Structure 1
Protein backbone atom coordinates (compact mmCIF):
# COMPACT_ATOMS: atom_id res chain seq x y z
CA UNK A 1 0.00 0.00 0.00
CA UNK A 2 2.83 2.39 0.87
CA UNK A 3 4.54 1.65 -2.44
CA UNK A 4 1.34 2.45 -4.33
CA UNK A 5 0.96 5.76 -2.52
CA UNK A 6 4.61 6.56 -3.20
CA UNK A 7 4.24 5.85 -6.92
CA UNK A 8 1.09 7.94 -7.08
CA UNK A 9 2.91 10.83 -5.42
CA UNK A 10 5.80 10.55 -7.85
CA UNK A 11 3.43 10.54 -10.85
CA UNK A 12 1.56 13.51 -9.47
CA UNK A 13 4.81 15.40 -8.97
CA UNK A 14 5.96 14.53 -12.50
CA UNK A 15 2.68 15.76 -13.99
CA UNK A 16 2.97 19.01 -12.06
CA UNK A 17 6.53 19.51 -13.32
CA UNK A 18 5.50 18.82 -16.91
CA UNK A 19 2.58 21.23 -16.60
CA UNK A 20 4.86 23.88 -15.15
CA UNK A 21 7.36 23.30 -17.96
CA UNK A 22 4.68 23.61 -20.64
CA UNK A 23 3.40 26.77 -19.00
CA UNK A 24 6.91 28.29 -18.96
CA UNK A 25 7.38 27.47 -22.64
CA UNK A 26 4.01 29.07 -23.42
CA UNK A 27 4.89 32.19 -21.45
CA UNK A 28 8.28 32.48 -23.13
CA UNK A 29 6.70 32.12 -26.57
CA UNK A 30 4.20 34.86 -25.75
CA UNK A 31 7.00 37.11 -24.53
CA UNK A 32 8.92 36.52 -27.79
CA UNK A 33 5.78 37.38 -29.78
CA UNK A 34 5.35 40.58 -27.78
CA UNK A 35 9.00 41.46 -28.40
CA UNK A 36 8.57 40.89 -32.13
CA UNK A 37 5.46 43.05 -32.19
CA UNK A 38 7.17 45.75 -30.14
CA UNK A 39 10.16 45.75 -32.48
CA UNK A 40 7.92 45.96 -35.53
CA UNK A 41 5.87 48.81 -34.04
CA UNK A 42 9.01 50.70 -33.03
CA UNK A 43 10.50 50.40 -36.52
CA UNK A 44 7.19 51.43 -38.07
CA UNK A 45 6.96 54.54 -35.88
CA UNK A 46 10.54 55.47 -36.76
CA UNK A 47 9.66 54.96 -40.42
CA UNK A 48 6.86 57.52 -40.13
CA UNK A 49 9.40 60.07 -38.92
CA UNK A 50 12.30 59.19 -41.20
CA UNK A 51 12.53 56.28 -43.62
CA UNK A 52 16.30 56.80 -43.81
CA UNK A 53 16.73 56.46 -40.05
CA UNK A 54 14.44 53.41 -39.94
CA UNK A 55 16.37 51.71 -42.74
CA UNK A 56 19.70 52.37 -41.04
CA UNK A 57 18.50 51.03 -37.69
CA UNK A 58 16.90 47.97 -39.31
CA UNK A 59 20.11 47.16 -41.20
CA UNK A 60 22.22 47.51 -38.04
CA UNK A 61 19.87 45.24 -36.08
CA UNK A 62 19.82 42.80 -38.98
CA UNK A 63 23.62 42.56 -38.83
CA UNK A 64 23.51 42.04 -35.04
CA UNK A 65 21.00 39.20 -35.33
CA UNK A 66 22.93 37.59 -38.18
CA UNK A 67 25.99 37.60 -35.93
CA UNK A 68 23.96 36.02 -33.11
CA UNK A 69 22.47 33.43 -35.44
CA UNK A 70 25.89 32.39 -36.72
CA UNK A 71 27.86 32.48 -33.47
CA UNK A 72 25.31 32.15 -30.67
CA UNK A 73 26.79 35.28 -29.13
CA UNK A 74 25.45 38.78 -28.69
CA UNK A 75 23.24 40.64 -26.23
CA UNK A 76 22.33 38.33 -23.31
CA UNK A 77 18.58 38.62 -23.88
CA UNK A 78 18.86 37.73 -27.57
CA UNK A 79 21.52 35.00 -27.60
CA UNK A 80 19.04 32.24 -28.41
CA UNK A 81 19.42 31.38 -32.11
CA UNK A 82 15.69 30.72 -32.57
CA UNK A 83 14.81 34.15 -31.23
CA UNK A 84 17.57 35.71 -33.31
CA UNK A 85 16.11 34.08 -36.44
CA UNK A 86 12.66 35.56 -35.78
CA UNK A 87 14.10 39.00 -35.06
CA UNK A 88 16.24 38.67 -38.16
CA UNK A 89 13.12 38.14 -40.28
CA UNK A 90 11.43 41.23 -38.82
CA UNK A 91 14.43 43.53 -39.24
CA UNK A 92 15.11 42.15 -42.73
CA UNK A 93 11.54 42.94 -43.77
CA UNK A 94 11.74 46.50 -42.46
CA UNK A 95 15.19 47.03 -43.99
CA UNK A 96 13.90 46.09 -47.45
CA UNK A 97 10.69 48.05 -46.99
CA UNK A 98 12.58 51.09 -45.74
CA UNK A 99 15.02 51.00 -48.66
CA UNK A 100 12.06 50.84 -51.06
CA UNK A 101 10.37 53.81 -49.42
CA UNK A 102 13.61 55.82 -49.45
CA UNK A 103 14.00 55.12 -53.17
CA UNK A 104 10.40 56.11 -53.87
CA UNK A 105 10.78 59.34 -51.88
CA UNK A 106 14.00 60.18 -53.70
CA UNK A 107 12.42 59.58 -57.10
CA UNK A 108 9.41 61.73 -56.17
CA UNK A 109 11.74 64.50 -55.01
CA UNK A 110 13.77 64.31 -58.22
CA UNK A 111 10.66 64.37 -60.40
CA UNK A 112 9.41 67.48 -58.60
CA UNK A 113 12.81 69.15 -58.81
CA UNK A 114 13.13 68.32 -62.53
CA UNK A 115 9.90 70.15 -63.23
CA UNK A 116 10.60 73.16 -61.01
CA UNK A 117 14.38 73.65 -61.23
CA UNK A 118 16.16 71.64 -63.98
CA UNK A 119 19.61 73.03 -63.07
CA UNK A 120 19.29 71.98 -59.44
CA UNK A 121 17.88 68.63 -60.58
CA UNK A 122 20.92 67.99 -62.77
CA UNK A 123 23.32 69.01 -60.00
CA UNK A 124 21.71 66.66 -57.48
CA UNK A 125 21.29 63.82 -59.97
CA UNK A 126 24.96 63.93 -60.93
CA UNK A 127 25.92 63.16 -57.32
CA UNK A 128 23.58 60.14 -57.30
CA UNK A 129 23.95 58.60 -60.77
CA UNK A 130 26.34 60.13 -63.31
CA UNK A 131 25.23 57.94 -66.22
CA UNK A 132 21.60 58.89 -65.66
CA UNK A 133 22.67 62.52 -65.33
CA UNK A 134 24.39 62.31 -68.71
CA UNK A 135 21.22 60.97 -70.34
CA UNK A 136 19.06 63.69 -68.75
CA UNK A 137 21.58 66.29 -69.86
CA UNK A 138 20.83 65.40 -73.49
CA UNK A 139 17.27 66.72 -73.13
CA UNK A 140 17.64 69.45 -70.50
CA UNK A 141 20.90 71.03 -71.66
CA UNK A 142 21.96 69.88 -75.16
CA UNK A 143 25.00 72.19 -75.30
CA UNK A 144 26.37 70.92 -72.00
CA UNK A 145 25.64 67.37 -73.19
CA UNK A 146 27.73 67.92 -76.33
CA UNK A 147 30.63 69.26 -74.26
CA UNK A 148 30.42 66.33 -71.84
CA UNK A 149 30.18 63.82 -74.68
CA UNK A 150 33.32 65.28 -76.25
CA UNK A 151 35.11 65.17 -72.89
CA UNK A 152 34.15 61.55 -72.34
CA UNK A 153 35.17 60.60 -75.86
CA UNK A 154 38.57 62.24 -75.44
CA UNK A 155 39.06 60.55 -72.07
CA UNK A 156 38.14 57.15 -73.49
CA UNK A 157 40.54 57.65 -76.39
CA UNK A 158 43.32 58.70 -74.02
CA UNK A 159 42.72 55.61 -71.88
CA UNK A 160 42.73 53.43 -75.00
CA UNK A 161 46.00 54.87 -76.28
CA UNK A 162 47.56 54.61 -72.84
CA UNK A 163 47.32 50.83 -73.18
CA UNK A 164 49.24 50.86 -76.48
CA UNK A 165 52.78 51.18 -75.19
CA UNK A 166 56.13 50.34 -76.73
CA UNK A 167 56.30 47.38 -74.34
CA UNK A 168 53.59 45.67 -76.40
CA UNK A 169 55.94 45.39 -79.40
CA UNK A 170 57.05 41.94 -78.31
CA UNK A 171 53.42 40.83 -78.07
CA UNK A 172 52.74 42.25 -81.53
CA UNK A 173 55.69 40.22 -82.83
CA UNK A 174 54.21 37.02 -81.38
CA UNK A 175 50.65 37.72 -82.56
CA UNK A 176 51.60 38.38 -86.19
CA UNK A 177 53.41 35.04 -86.44
CA UNK A 178 50.12 33.16 -86.90
CA UNK A 179 49.44 35.11 -90.10
CA UNK A 180 53.02 34.60 -91.28
CA UNK A 181 52.59 30.82 -90.86
CA UNK A 182 49.45 30.87 -93.00
CA UNK A 183 51.49 32.03 -96.01
CA UNK A 184 53.99 29.16 -95.75
CA UNK A 185 54.02 25.77 -97.49
CA UNK A 186 54.88 23.97 -94.24
CA UNK A 187 53.63 26.29 -91.45
CA UNK A 188 54.25 23.75 -88.66
CA UNK A 189 58.00 23.77 -89.42
CA UNK A 190 58.40 27.54 -89.02
CA UNK A 191 60.76 28.67 -86.28
CA UNK A 192 60.96 32.27 -85.15
CA UNK A 193 63.77 33.75 -83.08
CA UNK A 194 62.86 35.01 -79.64
CA UNK A 195 63.66 38.60 -80.63
CA UNK A 196 61.96 40.66 -83.33
CA UNK A 197 63.91 42.49 -86.01
CA UNK A 198 65.10 46.08 -86.07
CA UNK A 199 62.42 48.64 -86.84
CA UNK A 200 59.73 46.90 -84.81
CA UNK A 201 57.77 49.22 -82.53
CA UNK A 202 54.67 51.26 -81.88
CA UNK A 203 53.81 53.42 -84.89
CA UNK A 204 51.01 55.28 -83.12
CA UNK A 205 47.25 54.80 -82.68
CA UNK A 206 47.78 51.25 -81.40
CA UNK A 207 49.39 50.21 -84.70
CA UNK A 208 52.65 48.26 -84.51
CA UNK A 209 55.26 47.84 -87.21
CA UNK A 210 56.79 44.35 -87.02
CA UNK A 211 59.90 43.12 -88.81
CA UNK A 212 61.51 39.71 -88.43
CA UNK A 213 62.76 36.51 -89.98
CA UNK A 214 62.04 32.79 -89.68
CA UNK A 215 63.27 29.38 -90.79
CA UNK A 216 60.83 26.97 -92.46
CA UNK A 217 60.75 24.07 -94.90
CA UNK A 218 59.92 24.69 -98.53
CA UNK A 219 58.01 22.31 -100.80
CA UNK A 220 61.07 20.05 -101.10
CA UNK A 221 61.64 19.78 -97.34
CA UNK A 222 64.67 22.01 -97.24
CA UNK A 223 64.92 24.57 -94.42
CA UNK A 224 65.16 28.07 -95.80
CA UNK A 225 65.29 31.46 -94.14
CA UNK A 226 62.58 33.96 -94.90
CA UNK A 227 61.81 37.49 -93.81
CA UNK A 228 58.59 39.33 -93.16
CA UNK A 229 57.39 42.83 -92.48
CA UNK A 230 53.92 43.97 -91.57
CA UNK A 231 51.66 46.02 -89.37
CA UNK A 232 49.27 44.76 -86.74
CA UNK A 233 46.77 46.76 -84.69
CA UNK A 234 45.86 46.22 -81.04
CA UNK A 235 42.26 46.78 -79.87
CA UNK A 236 42.38 47.46 -76.09
CA UNK A 237 38.59 47.52 -75.72
CA UNK A 238 38.41 43.83 -76.63
CA UNK A 239 42.04 42.83 -75.98
CA UNK A 240 42.56 41.49 -79.50
CA UNK A 241 44.97 41.90 -82.43
CA UNK A 242 44.39 42.19 -86.17
CA UNK A 243 47.01 42.14 -88.89
CA UNK A 244 46.67 45.13 -91.22
CA UNK A 245 49.44 44.51 -93.78
CA UNK A 246 51.90 41.65 -94.26
CA UNK A 247 54.70 40.92 -96.72
CA UNK A 248 56.54 37.59 -96.51
CA UNK A 249 59.68 36.85 -98.58
Structure 2
Protein backbone atom coordinates (compact mmCIF):
# COMPACT_ATOMS: atom_id res chain seq x y z
CA UNK A 1 0.00 0.00 0.00
CA UNK A 2 1.50 3.36 -1.00
CA UNK A 3 1.67 6.47 1.15
CA UNK A 4 -0.69 8.25 -1.23
CA UNK A 5 -3.36 5.65 -0.53
CA UNK A 6 -3.04 6.37 3.19
CA UNK A 7 -3.47 10.12 2.67
CA UNK A 8 -6.70 9.92 0.67
CA UNK A 9 -9.04 9.04 3.55
CA UNK A 10 -7.51 11.72 5.75
CA UNK A 11 -7.80 14.28 2.99
CA UNK A 12 -11.47 13.40 2.47
CA UNK A 13 -12.28 13.77 6.17
CA UNK A 14 -10.47 17.10 6.37
CA UNK A 15 -12.19 18.35 3.24
CA UNK A 16 -15.61 17.36 4.57
CA UNK A 17 -14.89 19.06 7.89
CA UNK A 18 -13.75 22.25 6.18
CA UNK A 19 -16.81 22.30 3.94
CA UNK A 20 -19.10 21.80 6.92
CA UNK A 21 -17.46 24.70 8.75
CA UNK A 22 -17.86 26.90 5.69
CA UNK A 23 -21.58 26.06 5.56
CA UNK A 24 -21.92 26.91 9.26
CA UNK A 25 -20.21 30.25 8.68
CA UNK A 26 -22.47 30.93 5.70
CA UNK A 27 -25.54 30.13 7.78
CA UNK A 28 -24.31 32.40 10.56
CA UNK A 29 -23.61 35.21 8.09
CA UNK A 30 -27.00 34.71 6.44
CA UNK A 31 -28.83 34.80 9.75
CA UNK A 32 -26.84 37.83 10.94
CA UNK A 33 -27.63 39.71 7.72
CA UNK A 34 -31.36 39.07 8.12
CA UNK A 35 -31.18 40.02 11.81
CA UNK A 36 -29.37 43.26 10.97
CA UNK A 37 -31.97 44.07 8.29
CA UNK A 38 -34.70 43.26 10.79
CA UNK A 39 -33.36 45.83 13.24
CA UNK A 40 -33.39 48.56 10.62
CA UNK A 41 -36.55 47.70 8.67
CA UNK A 42 -38.79 44.85 9.74
CA UNK A 43 -41.04 45.14 6.70
CA UNK A 44 -38.12 44.91 4.24
CA UNK A 45 -36.57 42.02 6.18
CA UNK A 46 -39.84 40.08 6.09
CA UNK A 47 -40.20 40.54 2.34
CA UNK A 48 -36.57 39.52 1.69
CA UNK A 49 -36.85 36.48 3.96
CA UNK A 50 -40.06 35.36 2.26
CA UNK A 51 -38.53 35.73 -1.20
CA UNK A 52 -35.48 33.72 -0.15
CA UNK A 53 -37.76 31.13 1.43
CA UNK A 54 -39.45 30.68 -1.95
CA UNK A 55 -36.06 30.43 -3.71
CA UNK A 56 -34.74 27.78 -1.34
CA UNK A 57 -38.03 25.86 -1.51
CA UNK A 58 -37.71 25.77 -5.29
CA UNK A 59 -34.14 24.52 -4.99
CA UNK A 60 -35.10 21.91 -2.43
CA UNK A 61 -37.86 20.54 -4.66
CA UNK A 62 -36.20 20.73 -8.06
CA UNK A 63 -32.48 20.70 -7.27
CA UNK A 64 -32.13 23.78 -9.46
CA UNK A 65 -31.41 27.38 -8.66
CA UNK A 66 -28.31 29.35 -7.74
CA UNK A 67 -25.21 27.18 -8.28
CA UNK A 68 -23.99 27.72 -4.73
CA UNK A 69 -27.23 26.36 -3.25
CA UNK A 70 -28.09 23.53 -5.63
CA UNK A 71 -27.26 20.94 -3.00
CA UNK A 72 -30.60 20.07 -1.41
CA UNK A 73 -29.12 19.63 2.06
CA UNK A 74 -27.66 23.13 2.02
CA UNK A 75 -30.88 24.52 0.55
CA UNK A 76 -32.84 22.93 3.41
CA UNK A 77 -30.66 24.59 6.05
CA UNK A 78 -31.01 28.01 4.45
CA UNK A 79 -34.74 27.36 3.98
CA UNK A 80 -35.14 26.83 7.72
CA UNK A 81 -33.31 30.09 8.51
CA UNK A 82 -35.35 32.05 5.95
CA UNK A 83 -38.60 30.54 7.25
CA UNK A 84 -37.73 31.42 10.84
CA UNK A 85 -37.01 35.05 10.00
CA UNK A 86 -40.12 35.25 7.81
CA UNK A 87 -42.34 34.24 10.72
CA UNK A 88 -40.45 36.34 13.23
CA UNK A 89 -40.58 39.37 10.96
CA UNK A 90 -44.32 38.99 10.43
CA UNK A 91 -44.89 38.81 14.20
CA UNK A 92 -42.68 41.81 14.89
CA UNK A 93 -44.32 43.81 12.11
CA UNK A 94 -47.74 43.09 13.61
CA UNK A 95 -46.57 44.07 17.10
CA UNK A 96 -45.00 47.31 15.86
CA UNK A 97 -48.11 48.17 13.90
CA UNK A 98 -50.34 47.58 16.93
CA UNK A 99 -48.09 49.79 19.06
CA UNK A 100 -48.15 52.56 16.45
CA UNK A 101 -51.91 52.29 16.10
CA UNK A 102 -52.38 52.52 19.86
CA UNK A 103 -50.35 55.74 19.93
CA UNK A 104 -52.11 57.13 16.86
CA UNK A 105 -55.51 56.33 18.35
CA UNK A 106 -54.77 58.62 21.26
CA UNK A 107 -53.02 61.40 19.37
CA UNK A 108 -54.92 61.51 16.06
CA UNK A 109 -58.12 59.42 15.95
CA UNK A 110 -59.02 60.57 12.43
CA UNK A 111 -55.68 59.43 10.99
CA UNK A 112 -55.95 56.20 12.97
CA UNK A 113 -59.38 55.45 11.51
CA UNK A 114 -58.20 56.26 7.99
CA UNK A 115 -55.26 53.88 8.25
CA UNK A 116 -57.31 51.20 9.98
CA UNK A 117 -59.98 51.33 7.26
CA UNK A 118 -57.47 50.23 4.63
CA UNK A 119 -56.05 47.44 6.79
CA UNK A 120 -59.07 45.94 8.60
CA UNK A 121 -62.53 47.21 7.66
CA UNK A 122 -64.41 45.19 10.28
CA UNK A 123 -62.19 46.49 13.06
CA UNK A 124 -62.49 49.99 11.63
CA UNK A 125 -66.28 49.78 11.80
CA UNK A 126 -66.14 48.65 15.44
CA UNK A 127 -63.73 51.47 16.38
CA UNK A 128 -65.81 54.00 14.47
CA UNK A 129 -68.68 53.47 16.92
CA UNK A 130 -66.61 54.82 19.81
CA UNK A 131 -64.39 57.38 18.08
CA UNK A 132 -66.88 58.91 15.62
CA UNK A 133 -70.51 58.08 16.53
CA UNK A 134 -72.02 60.25 13.77
CA UNK A 135 -69.97 58.58 11.03
CA UNK A 136 -70.77 55.21 12.59
CA UNK A 137 -74.52 55.90 12.40
CA UNK A 138 -74.22 56.92 8.75
CA UNK A 139 -72.10 53.88 7.90
CA UNK A 140 -74.47 51.55 9.76
CA UNK A 141 -77.45 52.97 7.87
CA UNK A 142 -75.63 52.60 4.57
CA UNK A 143 -74.69 48.99 5.34
CA UNK A 144 -78.24 48.17 6.38
CA UNK A 145 -79.61 49.67 3.16
CA UNK A 146 -77.07 47.73 1.11
CA UNK A 147 -77.89 44.51 2.95
CA UNK A 148 -81.60 45.05 2.28
CA UNK A 149 -80.90 45.79 -1.38
CA UNK A 150 -78.81 42.63 -1.69
CA UNK A 151 -81.56 40.65 0.05
CA UNK A 152 -84.24 41.93 -2.30
CA UNK A 153 -82.03 41.25 -5.29
CA UNK A 154 -82.07 37.58 -4.27
CA UNK A 155 -85.88 37.62 -4.23
CA UNK A 156 -86.40 37.93 -7.96
CA UNK A 157 -89.41 36.95 -10.05
CA UNK A 158 -87.46 33.86 -11.15
CA UNK A 159 -88.02 32.39 -7.67
CA UNK A 160 -91.78 32.38 -8.12
CA UNK A 161 -91.69 28.86 -9.58
CA UNK A 162 -89.62 27.68 -6.62
CA UNK A 163 -92.08 29.31 -4.20
CA UNK A 164 -94.85 27.28 -5.89
CA UNK A 165 -92.93 24.07 -5.27
CA UNK A 166 -92.01 24.91 -1.67
CA UNK A 167 -95.58 25.63 -0.56
CA UNK A 168 -96.84 22.27 -1.85
CA UNK A 169 -95.61 20.42 1.25
CA UNK A 170 -97.84 22.55 3.47
CA UNK A 171 -100.75 21.96 1.11
CA UNK A 172 -100.22 18.19 1.43
CA UNK A 173 -100.29 18.41 5.23
CA UNK A 174 -103.82 19.82 5.10
CA UNK A 175 -105.18 16.92 3.01
CA UNK A 176 -106.74 13.63 4.13
CA UNK A 177 -104.49 11.61 1.81
CA UNK A 178 -101.29 13.68 1.40
CA UNK A 179 -99.40 11.00 -0.53
CA UNK A 180 -102.00 11.02 -3.31
CA UNK A 181 -101.72 14.73 -4.06
CA UNK A 182 -100.60 15.68 -7.55
CA UNK A 183 -99.82 19.22 -8.66
CA UNK A 184 -99.73 20.62 -12.20
CA UNK A 185 -96.33 21.61 -13.49
CA UNK A 186 -97.25 25.28 -13.41
CA UNK A 187 -98.93 27.52 -10.85
CA UNK A 188 -102.24 29.24 -11.49
CA UNK A 189 -103.10 32.79 -12.49
CA UNK A 190 -102.62 35.26 -9.66
CA UNK A 191 -99.26 33.89 -8.54
CA UNK A 192 -96.78 36.75 -8.19
CA UNK A 193 -93.87 38.30 -6.39
CA UNK A 194 -95.40 40.62 -3.81
CA UNK A 195 -92.08 42.22 -2.89
CA UNK A 196 -89.94 42.06 0.23
CA UNK A 197 -89.27 38.35 -0.49
CA UNK A 198 -92.94 37.39 -0.13
CA UNK A 199 -94.68 35.43 -2.90
CA UNK A 200 -98.39 34.85 -3.44
CA UNK A 201 -99.18 31.39 -4.80
CA UNK A 202 -102.38 30.29 -6.49
CA UNK A 203 -102.70 26.68 -7.63
CA UNK A 204 -104.71 23.52 -7.83
CA UNK A 205 -104.21 19.84 -7.07
CA UNK A 206 -105.78 16.41 -7.44
CA UNK A 207 -105.99 14.20 -4.34
CA UNK A 208 -108.17 11.50 -2.80
CA UNK A 209 -110.90 12.53 -0.41
CA UNK A 210 -112.13 10.57 2.60
CA UNK A 211 -113.97 8.13 0.34
CA UNK A 212 -110.94 7.40 -1.86
CA UNK A 213 -112.22 9.38 -4.85
CA UNK A 214 -109.88 11.74 -6.66
CA UNK A 215 -111.12 15.31 -6.52
CA UNK A 216 -109.83 18.61 -7.80
CA UNK A 217 -108.95 21.20 -5.18
CA UNK A 218 -107.50 24.70 -5.14
CA UNK A 219 -105.29 26.62 -2.77
CA UNK A 220 -104.08 30.17 -2.22
CA UNK A 221 -101.24 31.15 0.06
CA UNK A 222 -98.25 33.34 0.68
CA UNK A 223 -94.70 32.19 1.40
CA UNK A 224 -91.57 34.08 2.39
CA UNK A 225 -88.01 33.42 1.24
CA UNK A 226 -84.98 34.00 3.51
CA UNK A 227 -81.86 34.58 1.35
CA UNK A 228 -79.44 34.28 4.27
CA UNK A 229 -80.41 30.69 5.00
CA UNK A 230 -81.99 29.77 1.67
CA UNK A 231 -85.14 28.65 3.53
CA UNK A 232 -88.86 29.23 3.03
CA UNK A 233 -91.77 29.81 5.43
CA UNK A 234 -95.46 29.64 4.61
CA UNK A 235 -97.23 32.70 5.96
CA UNK A 236 -100.85 32.05 4.98
CA UNK A 237 -102.60 29.13 3.31
CA UNK A 238 -106.20 28.49 2.30
CA UNK A 239 -106.96 25.04 0.83
CA UNK A 240 -110.33 24.27 -0.78
CA UNK A 241 -111.30 20.76 -1.81
| TM-score when normalising by structure 1 | 0.92
Q: Distance in 1 between matches of 2:131 and 2:96?
A: 22
1:155-234 residue pairs with structure 2 within 5 A? Answer: 155-234=146-225
Shift of 1:13: 5.1
Shift of 1:72: 1.3
Deviations 1:176-212 (Å, cap 9, x if unpaired)?
A: 1111111112211111111111111210100000111
Shift of 1:14: 4.9
Q: Distance in 2 between matches of 1:213 and 1:125?
A: 58
3-state SS of 1:237 partner: coil
1:32-47 residue pairs with structure 2 within 5 A? Answer: 32-47=23-38
Shift of 1:35: 1.2
Per the alignment, residue 152 of structure 1 pairs with: 143
Q: Distance in 2 between matches of 1:153 and 1:175?
A: 28
1:87 aligns with 2:78: yes
User: Structure 1 stretches of 5 or more lacking a match?
Assistant: 1-7
CA RMSD, Structure 1 to Structure 2 (Å): 1.3
Greater shift, 51-60 or 109-118, is seen at: 109-118
The structure 2 residue matched to 1:113, chosen from 104, 107, 111, is 104
3-state SS of 1:194 partner: coil
Q: Distance in 1 between matches of 2:176 and 2:73?
A: 76
Q: Distance in 1 between matches of 2:211 and 2:24?
A: 92
| TM-score when normalising by structure 2 | 0.95
Q: Distance in 2 between matches of 1:27 and 1:204?
A: 81
Deviations 1:114-143 (Å, cap 9, x if unpaired)?
A: 111111111111111111111111111111
Q: Distance in 2 between matches of 1:141 and 1:90?
A: 45
Shift of 1:29: 1.6
1:67-106 residue pairs with structure 2 within 5 A? Answer: 67-106=58-97
Deviations 1:156-189 (Å, cap 9, x if unpaired)?
A: 1111111100000011011111111111122111
3-state SS of 1:84 partner: helix
3-state SS of 2:51 partner: helix
The structure 2 residue matched to 1:17, chosen from 5, 8, 28, is 8
1:141 aligns with 2:132: yes
Shift of 1:23: 2.2
Q: Distance in 2 between matches of 1:189 and 1:167?
A: 28
User: CA distance change for structure 1 residues 222 and 16 in 2, over 3 Å: closer, same or farther?
Assistant: farther
User: Structure 2 stretches of 5 or more lacking a match?
Assistant: none
Q: Distance in 1 between matches of 2:120 and 2:159?
A: 36
Per the alignment, residue 4 of structure 1 pairs with: none
